[in-house]
Amino acid sequence: MTELIYTTDSYLTEIEAKVVEIRDEGVILDRTIAYPQGGGQPSDKAKFLLDGEEIEITKIRKIGTDVIHKIDGTVNAGDELTVKIDWEYRFKLIRHHTALHVLSAIVWDKYKAKVTGGTIYHNKARLDFDMMEFNKEIAQNIIDDVNETLKTDHKVEVSFITREELENNPELIRTKVSLIPESVKTIRLVKIGDIDIQADGGLHVRSTREIGIMGLQSISNKGKGRKRINIELYD
Ligand SMILES: [Zn+2]
């Protein structure tokens, strides 16, 4: 079982860790800061530093309770090494991730429309909403409201609740279908000031002040229940 340091600290760029197991799929450490793909957020770019050498991590996946680091190189069980992430890339991803939560909060507030899909990149992001009426003007109004909201410094906080508490508070799931596997017993909550709180496994900035300004890139209609808003961020 890997200690998932990124779930409580998304700003740590380096950490010392120990190799506990090596499988065909890759290396398992006692703890890691390298985010595996999930929740619409891509994997980090990261590497190991061992005895003055850099070992590229080519794939980061979570299987069960372990994070598997596929590497371009060799390490041995028991090795103590440093995990280092590409912070510039991580910071872009988490800015976009928190931005999408603010976007989904505004859409929920105004239209009571849930999220039906979403993808985060380092330079753009998109969300699909279960909306009936949708056009460019509506989307631009939503983005304007997001930017109005982003003028205030809303702190982002992470906390944990039990699955039972989540089931008693269904409003904590903003996606149309719950994406949390039944096996997950501890639920992570991401709260953005007083504007949004959601069950979420992904990584976020500390404050909405770090997001910048949101721009509407384009919209598209992907069918019933999938009205897509493509956004980008400016400093
Ligand atoms: Zn999220």
Does residue 12 have a pLDDT over 90? Answer: yes
Question: Ligand 1 mean position to 167 CA, how many Å?
Answer: 18
Does residue 95 have a pLDDT over 90? Answer: yes
Question: Ligand 1 mean position to 232 CA, how many Å?
Answer: 16
Question: Ligand 1 mean position to 142 CA, how many Å?
Answer: 18
Alpha-carbon distance of 117 to 189, in angstroms, equals: 19
- pLDDT value at position 181? 79
Q: What is the pLDDT of residues 148-174, one digit of tens each?
A: 999 999 999 999 999 999 989 888 888
What is the sign, positive or negative, of the torsion defined by CA atoms of 68, 158, 144, 209?
negative
| Interhelix angle 136-150/87-111, nearest 10 degrees | 120
Question: Ligand 1 mean position to 77 CA, how many Å?
Answer: 34
DSSP run (H or E) holding 13: none
Question: Ligand 1 mean position to 216 CA, how many Å?
Answer: 19
Question: Ligand 1 mean position to 35 CA, how many Å?
Answer: 13
Question: Ligand 1 mean position to 103 CA, how many Å?
Answer: 11
- pLDDT value at position 185? 85
Question: Ligand 1 mean position to 119 CA, how many Å?
Answer: 10
Where residue 103 falls among pLDDT bands split at 50, 70, 90?
very high
Question: Ligand 1 mean position to 73 CA, how many Å?
Answer: 32
- pLDDT value at position 184? 81
Average pLDDT over residues 87-105: 98
User: Where along the chain do the CATH 2.40.30.130 domains lie?
Assistant: 3-85
Contact assessment for residue 123 and residue 117, using Cβ atoms and an 8 Å cutoff: no
Residue type, 125: A
Does residue 138 have a pLDDT over 90? Answer: yes
Q: How many other C-beta atoms can be found within 10 angstroms of the C-beta atom of residue 35?
A: 26
Q: Which residue has the tokens 């998932």?
A: 4
User: Where along the chain do the CATH 3.30.980.10 domains lie?
Assistant: 89-234
Question: Domain 89-234 maps to which CATH number in 3.40.50.300, 3.20.20.70, 3.30.980.10, 3.30.870.10?
Answer: 3.30.980.10
Question: Ligand 1 mean position to 202 CA, how many Å?
Answer: 5
With 0-12 / 13-18 / 19 or more C-beta atoms within 10 angstroms meaning exposed / middle / buried, residue 77 is exposed
**Quick one: which of 100, 115, 132, 142 has its CA closest to 232?**
100
Question: Domain 3-85 maps to which CATH number in 3.10.150.10, 2.40.30.130, 3.40.50.10790, 3.60.15.10?
Answer: 2.40.30.130
Average pLDDT over residues 53-65: 96
Question: Ligand 1 mean position to 28 CA, how many Å?
Answer: 25
Does residue 3 have a pLDDT over 90? Answer: yes
Question: Ligand 1 mean position to 100 CA, how many Å?
Answer: 7
Q: What is the pLDDT of residues 176-214, one digit of tens each?
A: 777 787 878 899 999 999 999 999 999 999 999 999 999
Q: How many other C-beta atoms can be found within 10 angstroms of the C-beta atom of residue 210?
A: 16
Q: How many other C-beta atoms can be found within 10 angstroms of the C-beta atom of residue 72?
A: 12
Question: Ligand 1 mean position to 165 CA, how many Å?
Answer: 19
Q: Which of 52-61, 74-83, 100-109, 181-190 has the lowest mean pLDDT?
A: 181-190
Residue type, 68: I
- pLDDT value at position 38? 86
Question: Ligand 1 mean position to 230 CA, how many Å?
Answer: 16
Total count of residues recorded for the chain: 235
